[in-house]
Chain A
Amino acid sequence: MTPVFRPLRELAEAVRTRQVSPVTLAETFLARLETLGPRYNAVVTVTRERALIAARRAEAEIAAGRWRGPLHGIPYGAKDLLATSGGVPTTWGAAPLREQRFDYDATVVRRLEEAGAVVVAKLAMVELAGGMGYRQPTASFTGPGVSPWGPDAWSGGSSSGSGSAVSAGLVPFAIGSETWGSILSPAANCGITGLRPTYGRVSRHGAMALCWTLDKLGPLALTADDCGLVLDAIAGPDPHDPTAADRPFAYDDADATGRRFRFGVIRDVAAGAEPAVRAAFERSLEVLRKIGTVEEVTLADLPYEAVTRTILFAEAASAFEDMIESGAIAGLTAPEDHYTAYARDAILAKDYVRALRVRALVVREADRVLSRLDALVAPGRPGVASPLDREFRSAARGNVADVMGAIGNGAGLPAIAVPNGFNEAGLPTSLQFMGRAWEENTVLAAARAWQSITDFHLKHPPVG
């Protein structure tokens, strides 16, 4: 069997039954990363040596009858903001930090290693996860991320390589991070599935901090089921991260056939979307009515986007205060990242605290609406992948409406983006399911149900 573009369960069964060896898998994906990765500016570092050591260990364990589970021997890529030991650089996508190294592994990397997964690459990302205000794709020292669906189309960000590497079959799954849009955006632009867990579900220890109260880590993969399997391995409390919740998580992969879901749509949620995205969303609602009900919901009049944006700008300015104050941001790639963060000094402490107070109203309002639903649905992104040489519209910057992203990230809610169509140029569109806090299993079940009656997730770009 060719292991490329296979769902994790198929790969796992092939590994468990020794039809495919972990070393063969690692070699296959290492070769793809090395030969195809540059085409998409997807890779910072191929971790060949570490990967082959881990793959040989997995092979020996499985041969000895010690199969650890569905990720044992499966290669993956980590966004290059996750600390990795052993002399592997962790660059945060930023030229001034291209030689940065850590002597420990991020908790997520450690948990995946315990599950037997094999890290084969550190994947490209927007510099400092986009926290300095970038406005166009050329904002990483590894070059603009390219979507495998179009040579001139942006992969999205900030988890650019995590999106493009999965989409191009360079890794079976990847880990990304989201503060506002950084998992859902590359999932949408690259036509794959991306899960943003509840804030606190996954330890952030060893991950670059952009915004302490907004950052989440999660998987990007080919299917919702793949995302559930990965989340099962990485979720859980961590003494190194006090915000990692002491709540158990076990992926519930029970067959959702016949389950009736209750979906909500925020009034006018797709009004600002591009025509192709809006049309795909309207078609998706018709499909969703086969597996549940769809009702329009209204939200209390609160400044959702202003709250999340204020928190993001203020915390990012503090997280990177040393680089901003020293002027080291002038060494970043995007010209606008050289100075935009200076404006954050204009955020008054009182306004940041007020945003945190209004945030308490936001989380209660979101829960009021979601407590009656299984998920809110909306376009994953308001547009398809933008051209590489143009400024894009960004909710975090405020030139496109994204109430779902503002609420979802401001309130720390889980969401999953799945492909739901293509525009006339063949670029993918996306659908998101956003659930109540800690309801990853519900949004995963809804996304699995969606993927059981559609085939968008089975389409892959012509990579070679």
Chain B
Amino acid sequence: MARKATQPDRPCAVIGVGQTRHAAVRKDVNIPGLVREAALFALEDAGLTFADIDAVVLGKAPDTFEGVMQPELTLAGALGAADKPILRVHTAGSVGGSTAVVASYLVRSGQYERVLAVAYQKQSESNAMWALSPKYPFLPPSVAGAGGYFAPLIRRYIERTEAPDHIGLKVAVKDRLNALKNPNAHLQIPGINEAMVRDSPMLWDPIRYLETCPSSDGAGAIVLASEEAAAKAPGPPAWVLATGIRTEPIIRPDRDDVDPLAGANCGQELYRKAGIENPRDEIDVAELYVPFSWYEPMWLENLDLCDRGDGWKMVDRGDTELGGRLPVNPSGGVLSSNPIGASGMLRFLEAAQQVRGKAGDHQVEGAKKALGHAYGGGSQFFAMWIVGAEPN
């Protein structure tokens, strides 16, 4: 059998990044227009056109949201995929991250030189609350959406760690202040403060209206390239130092769904593969998937970025603010823009922009290593990567 001679797991870099302006309703574009907007920004950033792309990977959350079945079929033309391979990834909320991870396999395996990863959701053309509350035979209906699912887990975190009530408010304010420095962010709330968040309606105790993510239309895109292709790119690359994915079942008697083992294992493997001995010192900035403000301290602990029980103390000290010891979600995070299927990819591409020095007003000074993180399902699907300004 004839084989291309390539080293296993060869170097791979982000050479182009694009995202749409995220908004509650993007009436100016349909679904193909939305994904194409992000893809064209990423190609422009990489100095490429669709013709330079070898393969496309498309990610989004359930097809039942927009009601388009296997949309890679109808979007093939808009994504310049004619005559090319296209894969469609779906791993629940983590999908935007998984999409970038799968695209990295296509480059790291030696199969392709330049791969375009795109993820999107057009929430204005769908009804996530309805789609997330299906009626299963023989089971009681859970017409609660994601907030209803995660609120009890947050309550248990607060109970375990004795975290004070204002922690959720602090994260909500911090991410919205960061969003004011990110022109792509959906929510722009000038003057946001803790009183505004505290006075907003309680949706799912303890999650208030301003402690939850918005519903957004949006898309993200990343061009991944081999070392050789990256050398020809006009801008600085972000090297993919490691990727990780982990899954555990949604229901299991001994699983800890507040501090899931899958997330912790994924982080540990990720650090090992990236050659990181102490993530608390070596990671300069993290884009974590925080759809409800309390999830910031919960993930800090799960990812070993602090001791168990200390996540809320990091928040309280201001460690996770821009200018803090470990800035988290300088882009404004999922709390400021949530096109569900793309939200994970936005974490991944914002991490890349940080180490490329291209994060604009929300740039973390001198960031060399950044963590991108996404989760989905019942805190059971995880996708992460670490990108660096220098290769491994």
Chain A bound to chain B = no
Interface residues in chain B, defined as those with a beta carbon under 8 Å from any beta carbon in chain A: none
